[in-house]
Amino acid sequence: MPIIVNLDVMMARRKMSLNELSEKVDLTLSNLSILKTGKAKAIRFSTLEAICNVLDCQPGDILEYQGEKK
């Protein structure tokens, strides 16, 4: 998949655990884990906004596009 989720990188930079982020964004651990591992097929803008607010970052810090090499 050409979209890479760097949530674990941002969490490490902010020294925040998955449990702590889950509580602050009001998301279940399982849903947050699915997002963190890159297995999610979609993300709501409201969820992305909440994560960015808590981690004090931009959406581009979490989501990265890697195009297919031709």
User: What are the structural domains, with CATH classification, of the chain?
Assistant: 3-65 (1.10.260.40)
Mean pLDDT of 60-68: 91
Q: Which helix (H) or strand (E) holds 48?
A: helix 45-55
Confidence of residue 67 (pLDDT cuts 50, 70, 90): confident
pLDDT digits (tens, 9 = 90+) for 8-52: 999 999 999 999 999 999 999 999 999 999 899 999 999 999 999
Q: Is the pLDDT of residue 68 over 80?
A: no
- Report residue 28 as tokens: 């279940």
The pTM score is 0.88
Cα distances (Å, whole numbers) of residue 22 to 4, 50, 65: 20, 10, 25
